[in-house]
Chains A and B, each alone.
Chain A
């Protein structure tokens, strides 16, 4: 039996800039979760529940930062979606807010005025974009162009493959 770090230990002791990022709807439905600290599924669910509740209870004009356990939560609402990052007390809150915004911009650019449905139906793409932008909880590439270029290249590879599949399909029919 491997023993897990106790919840708080692992999330506060491991020095990672963004500990996790959550996207959830106004109804409290989780749309995307990215954990950069190792936690068990149970712990993740507990944290998610707690945070969704806390953030949804806040009023619109309140500040975007809140202290939560030993961490700081930076969040912002875009239309029906809340984006929320956990950072450490000493980390830069404003730049984290702009991390969120840049990610929203990336989604927006990729999907063309993104909405919650895009993220639901193309959740894997939302993950791929995030991975190009943030890696291991740190900003990897902050240029919008470069991130999208990487994603579009991948899509291109995909289309080539799709064409191949269609060829196979027609052959099958002609039998």
Chain B
């Protein structure tokens, strides 16, 4: 038992906790718990009604058991009952149990909400606070639905107690974060800003968080917050510490509020008003000045609180990026911290400096600290601090210090923690590429990197070396020589593979030297062949066939190798296939053909370095990465335009992938060569679903799209050249979709529009199980082929869903049936006899050849079915007019089934070739 037991001290609870603590083993503990659970269960089930105190005690015990890590499957009802107790402590335990144990989807949510409702309405501030705390801590959608509209008025009402205001502000903040759609904006928002002026600093502290959140969402509505926060901040930073009484923390005035105010200001650009701006600058200067003053206390809390404000101020200065003096001062201040004895400060200084390095005003100032940072890399004992040092070196790197930084990073790599090696490898590779002045340095650096880091070198790194070597003539000989030299040592497989590729391409450049004659090169590559992995061996085989082309003199040696059982009968299919094919190729192809097939690789089209892409993926967006365009200019100063790259994409993608990427089929996800060709800058084109498209040719209603989340149904009506589609989106889940939007895009934008499509906007939220409707109006301007696409996007459980559905709007939808006699029909038929007016198709039946179904389909297609017109009764003829805005096109059709052969012949005659063609295509797919 503890010496102090405040409050009521539920004795039973204390005894129980003591018992648990005295248990000698896990089994004993479980036994004791089970005994208690049985006891509580019987009490809850018993006939005797429990008084509030017992109920509270047992609920508390359950809570304790839960917090020990055991599951609790009863007692929720009793906890909810406690909410309606008029005794504060019982209520409080009830709320605690709920906020710890009740999931938002609990069945009890209605009862809980009822309890909350009563307490909110009680006008008893302590009860109201409990209820608000519960909403703010649980923050579920159901609670938001029930209370979101009520809380703003509590917050801004004149007679609300300060403590309730604080709870209400944060409660509203929580709801606005979880379910922004449910919090009504309105006249309260204007009043909430003025809470920044409130007398009570606690209210200001709570309200500032709320206002920051609101300002992030709709900055324009909360613009006045800027002036108010500057005023408030100014009063705080210039106040004598004691002025703020209990809001002073270790001689620092209101540190939490100051940080919050500085964060709020970060939602806005620097104030335009000169007076306001200078007042803010004064504040920031004061904060910087205070950092230079001798500390008022030796306590770490004092310096932490002071520096928390300082770092937040520096963040604001960096964000504004417009005041060179402040930026340089900030940089100097951080420079001092770099050598501070507090690890925390060194860590934060390295981190903040990273952002400063990207500002043109402070980049040079940051660079002056290079030695300190390098020293940190070598001496810091904490890996997270060293990681920050690596980041900073990377950020401050430019042409002037690249060699030094790359060398330091490389030497650090040898001792670096495994957890950060891969990232350092990527960074070194990027910097070496970006700031390479001469390529021998680049090749040396990267090969060194691969040799040292071995397993931490991702494929991208050595793929990239190959790309660069292939694209730069001047480096090829040097690269071949270097890989040959390092190849004689024990090397990681990446280097072996890389060496194989380079020698296979450029081995001839060093073959003149007898020390690296063709045979020596080949023996070098082949020496550890059997120890290599399958992908490396596959790559080496490709290098061998390349050698046959480069060095005919060792052809027989290589053929012998390819012919050996260990190749031709290799258990691995890929290796076996390569051996067989290469051997065959080398035996039957003439030298000319060999030379063509095995020609040197064409230059790679320039794309974003995939290493950079990989690092970005690792670090997420917003990392401070060297400029990509720069990187291209410097290393691969290629003149190829992107169109060229695009053009060569189709032609050359496959041979490349084939050579490097063993595990074909080609588009393996982690293969760089595929990666290089794919357009990284653009998200993958949305795949358009047209699965059900053709089913709508002859009908207007039905389900066009369905997956696990969403069902899309259509109802459409057409009259002449106008159409209207009712689209129904059904949420199949029980969770709402938010940010729902759907719009219609025309597939080809090059030609003048053939369709005029207007879609009404849809409600951005679809509740679970609910359906919303969207109306799309369509006008057909001229005859067309491509259907418009419905682009749908929404968030489901935090992930963005994108769906493209081809809308079944086809030319035949604008058909008007025309009845005519047999004579008329054949007269017109003859008139439309020109070869370009008729389109005919003979095709096999896809469905049983049922006469009634066929009739229904022709009617569904839109034409009038003309009975008794064709002399052959088994044939079907139809007639109609296609309405577009510009013209009307008369159409005649004839369908001749041949049941024996299960074939049809379909003939379309219209005055326009394109119309005949399109209608024939559409209708022929229906039978």
Contact = CB atoms under 8 A, between A and B. Distances in A.
B257 to A, nearest CB: 7
Given A38-B139, A94-B344, A111 B308 contact: no
Interface string B440-458: 0000000000000000000
Given A95-B305, A121-B5, A33 B178 contact: no
Contact of B255 (A62, A98, A111, A125): A98
A53 interface: no
Contacts of A146: 163, 202, 246
B256 A123 contact: no
A67 B384 contact: yes
Given A142-B249, A153-B126, A135 B202 contact: no
A36 to B, nearest CB: 7
Given A98-B308, A128-B92, A3 B136 contact: no
A30 B69 contact: yes
B2 interface: yes
Interface string B296-340: 000001001101100110000000000000000000000000000
A158 B105 contact: no
B278 interface: no
A123 to B, nearest CB: 7
A155 B7 contact: yes
B385 interface: yes
B620 interface: yes
Contacts of A41: 71
A92 B67 CA distance: 29
B137 A101 contact: no
Contacts of B344: 63-65, 93-94, 97
B665 interface: no
B6 A110 contact: yes
A6 B343 contact: no
A112 B206 CA distance: 28
B259 interface: yes
Contact of A98 (B105, B209, B304): B304
A14 B178 contact: yes
A157 interface: yes
Interface string A9-30: 1100111110000000000001
A92 B311 contact: yes
Given A6-B797, A94-B308, A139 B8 contact: no
Interface in B206-224: 206, 209, 213
Given A136-B170, A146-B202, A3 B382 contact: no
Interface centre among A59, A64, A121, A144 (most CB of B within 10 A): A121
Contacts of A121: 1-2, 5, 14, 17
Nearest to A8: B798
B5 A139 contact: no
Interface string B119-144: 00000001001000100110110000
A82 B167 CA distance: 28
B174 interface: yes
Given A65-B384, A94-B311, A141-B166, A33 B67 contact: yes
Given A121-B5, A155-B7, A157-B89, A140 B205 contact: yes
Interface string A59-71: 1011111110010
B650 interface: no
B64 interface: yes
Contact of A142 (B105, B173, B247): B247
A1 interface: yes
Contacts of B167: 135, 140
Interface string B1-41: 11011111000001001000100000000000000000000
B656 interface: no
A150 B163 contact: yes
Contacts of B202: 140-143, 146
A30 B140 CA distance: 25
A78 B735 CA distance: 42
B6 A157 contact: no
Interface centre among A17, A66, A111, A136 (most CB of B within 10 A): A136
A165 B89 CA distance: 13
Interface in A102-129: 102, 110-112, 115, 117-118, 120-125, 127-128
A47 interface: no
B133 A139 contact: no
B734 interface: yes
B295 to A, nearest CB: 14
A85 to B, nearest CB: 14
Contacts of B205: 139-142
B347 interface: yes
B60 A124 contact: yes
A21 to B, nearest CB: 12
Contacts of B381: 59, 61-62
A111 B6 contact: yes
Contacts of B173: 136, 138
Given A65-B347, A128-B96, A3 B311 contact: no
A125 B7 contact: yes
Contact of B69 (A10, A45, A64, A101): A45
A46 interface: no
Contact of B797 (A3, A36, A159): A3
Contacts of A70: 620
B89 A154 contact: yes
A157 B1 CA distance: 24
Nearest to A16: B177
B354 to A, nearest CB: 12
Interface in A30-63: 30, 32-33, 36, 38, 40-41, 45, 59, 61-63
A107 B305 CA distance: 20
Nearest to B796: A3
B733 interface: yes
B343 A101 contact: no
Nearest to B263: A92
B8 A162 contact: yes
Nearest to A101: B301
Given A5-B797, A154-B126, A63 B246 contact: no
B613 interface: no
Given A38-B139, A131-B133, A158-B88, A3 B735 contact: yes
A139 B256 contact: yes
Contacts of A1: 734
A137 B138 CA distance: 11
B647 to A, nearest CB: 40
Interface of A: 1-6, 9-10, 13-17, 30, 32-33, 36, 38, 40-41, 45, 59, 61-67, 70, 92-95, 97-99, 101-102, 110-112, 115, 117-118, 120-125, 127-128, 131, 135-146, 150, 153-155, 157-159, 161-162, 165
17 contacts: A3-B797, A9-B798, A38-B140, A64-B344, A65-B348, A66-B384, A92-B312, A93-B348, A98-B305, A131-B133, A135-B206, A139-B256, A142-B249, A157-B126, A158-B88, A161-B88, A161-B89
Given A135-B171, A136-B174, A139-B209, 20 more contacts: A32-B67, A38-B104, A63-B344, A70-B620, A92-B312, A93-B308, A95-B256, A95-B308, A98-B249, A122-B2, A124-B63, A125-B6, A135-B133, A140-B206, A142-B205, A142-B254, A143-B201, A157-B88, A159-B7, A161-B88
